[in-house]
Amino acid sequence: MDTTRESKTNVILFDGVCNLCNGLVKFMFKYDKKVVFSFASLQSETAKRFLHDAELTDVPDSVIVIKDGKALVKSDAALYIVKKLGGFFSLFLVLRLLPLRLRDKIYDSIAKRRYKWFGKNESCMIPTKEQKERFL
């Protein structure tokens, strides 16, 4: 992908060694029918550039969405993904009624235990030939 504005919008930065995060990417390939999102592993140089450009120096233990050059983290990132997927997934937007602090506390609780619950790989996932065009 090029570095145009389009490639800087709706990018999911994920922990490439986390099985839960890799599961999210696989989930997105199945349900992101409109091909809204691109992906980059947090361990990649591409992700480092996005984080630098978004002025996010203290990277949270979170999936991060880059939207128009700005970083969405934790529950805000998750709810943005759900919103863009639309359809049935929009039902989860009801969680926006919870205070941000509570939503992020729940998110942090899962993030803290993700390796224990879902496992961890030694290296980042390798995208299939079909997936490669959506990785930055």
Report the pLDDT value the prediction gives residue 1, as an integer from 0 to 100.
Answer: 40
Give the closest residue to 83 by CA, choosing from 30, 6, 135, 10: 10
**Rounded to the nearest 10 degrees, what angle do helices 100-118 and 74-85 cross at?**
90
Please tell me the least confidently modeled range out of 50-59, 72-81, 101-110: 50-59
What is d(CA 61, CA 54) in angstroms, rounded to the nearest whole number? Answer: 16
User: Considering the chain, what is the average pLDDT of its residues?
Assistant: 84
Report the pLDDT value the prediction gives residue 61, as an integer from 0 to 100.
Answer: 77
Q: What is the DSSP letter of 99?
A: -
**pTM recorded for the entire structure:** 0.82
Most confidently modeled range among 48-62, 70-84, 112-126: 70-84
What is d(CA 120, CA 82) in angstroms, rounded to the nearest whole number? Answer: 24
- Three-class SS state of 39: strand
